Chain A
Amino acid sequence: MREAVGAPLLVLFASYVGFGSLVRESRLSLPAGLLSTLMTWALPGQIVSVELYATGASLLTIFIAVALTNARMMPMTMTLLPLVRVPERARWRLYAASHLIAVTGWAVAMMRCPGMPPAQRLPYFVAFAATLLCGSLLGTAVGFVASGTVPPAVSLGLVFVNPVYFMLLFLGDLRDRARVLALVLGAGLAPAMHMLAPSWGLLITGVVAGGLAFALTRRRRRV
C-alpha cells in the first residue's frame, strides 16, 4: 500500500488533473468524467472518447476507437493472471480484479508479485491498483473544478497536460522498432487525415499506420 503513495500516484494524479480539465473544456459533466475514470480506468481510451465526443463522432466510431486504443489490456491481463491466480479461489474474482488492470499498477505487480507468497499477490495488486484509482478520481475532480476557477491561460495549460504526458511516455520508451514506426507514421498521417475526415480520421490513421508499421517490420524480420 505504501508503495502506491509515491511516484506512480503523483504521475497519475497529475495526468488525471489534465483529464479532468479536458472533460470540462469538452463540455462534459463532472459525473461523466468521474464515471469515465472509475469505469474505464485506462487514460488513453478515456482521452480518445472525450476528444471524439467533442468532434461529434458517432457512438460506433467512439466504441471502435476506444477498443483499439485500450486493446493492450488483453495481453496485460493474460500475463498478470498466471502470477496472481490461486486455483481454489472463485473465477469471478479474477474478472472483477481484471477491471483494475492498467499500465502503472500492472507494471508494479509484475515486478513485485513473483517475490510474494501466491495467496498474497491478488490482494496486493487489488489494494495497490485501488489506491491509484482513488488518486486518479481525485485528480479528475480537481482538474474539473480547477479548470472552471483558474484563469483561462492556466486551464489551457491543464488541458495541454494530456498530449504532453503521452508524448513523454513514448519518448521515454523507444525500444521496439515496430512501435517506433507506428508512432512516426501515426503522428505523420494524423493532421492530413483529420482534415479529410474529422471524426473518422483518428481511427483510420491508427489502423493504417499501425498495420503498415506491423507489416513493414515483420517483412524485415523475415529477410
Chain B
Amino acid sequence: MSDPDLWGIVVVLAGAAATFLWRALGVTLSGRLRPDSPVIDLVGCIAYALLAALVARMILLPIGPLQATGLASRLVAAGVAVAVFFALRRNLVAGVVAGGGALALLASATAVP
C-alpha cells in the first residue's frame, strides 16, 4: 500500500470516528438531555451552514475534476435539476439524475471544439 493510500484510509477513519462519537454520545445522554435544547439547535445550524457552504463551493468553485467544466454549465445543470425536481413533485432521484445528466451533456458539448 502506497503512502497516499494509507493517508486516505487514515482520513476516512478519522471521519468515521468523528461521526460515531456523536451516536455513542446520543446513546449515553439519551434520557438525560432534552433533544430540543438550544445547544442542539446551534449545532444543527452549523451543520446546515457547513453543508450549504460545501454545495455552493462545489458548484461555484469546484476543486478536482469539476474544474474542467464551465461555471455556466454547472449553473445550468443545477437549474435543470431544480426544475425537474419540482416539476415531478419533488422527485429526488429524477432531479439528481437530471442534474448529473445535464452536466454530462454540457461537458461533452463544450469539450468538442
Interface residues of A (CB under 8 A from B): 7, 10-11, 14-15, 18, 25-29, 31-32, 35-36, 39-42, 44-49, 51-55, 59, 62-79, 81-82, 85, 91, 94-95, 98-99, 101, 151-172, 178-179, 181-191, 193-195, 198, 201-203, 205-211, 213-214, 218
Main secondary structure, interface of A, reads helix
Chain B residues whose C-beta falls within 8 Å of the C-beta of A214 in the assembled complex: 41-42, 45-46
B72 at the interface (CB under 8 A from A): no
Q: Are B55 and A156 in contact (CB under 8 A)?
A: no
Q: A77 to B20, alpha carbons, bound, how many Å?
A: 11
Count of chain B residues near A, Cβ 8 A: 80
Chain A residues whose C-beta falls within 8 Å of the C-beta of B44 in the assembled complex: 71-72, 75, 178-179
Chain B residues whose C-beta falls within 8 Å of the C-beta of A211 in the assembled complex: 42, 45-46
A-B contact pairs, 9 of them (CB 8 A): A25-B64, A54-B64, A81-B27, A153-B104, A156-B68, A157-B101, A163-B59, A168-B85, A172-B85
Main secondary structure, interface of B, reads helix
Indicate which residue in B15, B46, B63, B78 contacts A63 across the interface (CB closer than 8 Å). B15
Evaluate whether A78 and B29 lie within 8 angstroms (CB atoms) in the complex, with A27-B4, A171-B82 already known. Answer: yes
Chain B residues whose C-beta falls within 8 Å of the C-beta of A154 in the assembled complex: 104, 108
Q: Are B51 and A186 in contact (CB under 8 A)?
A: yes
Chain A residues whose C-beta falls within 8 Å of the C-beta of B60 in the assembled complex: 190-191
Q: Are B19 and A54 in contact (CB under 8 A)?
A: no
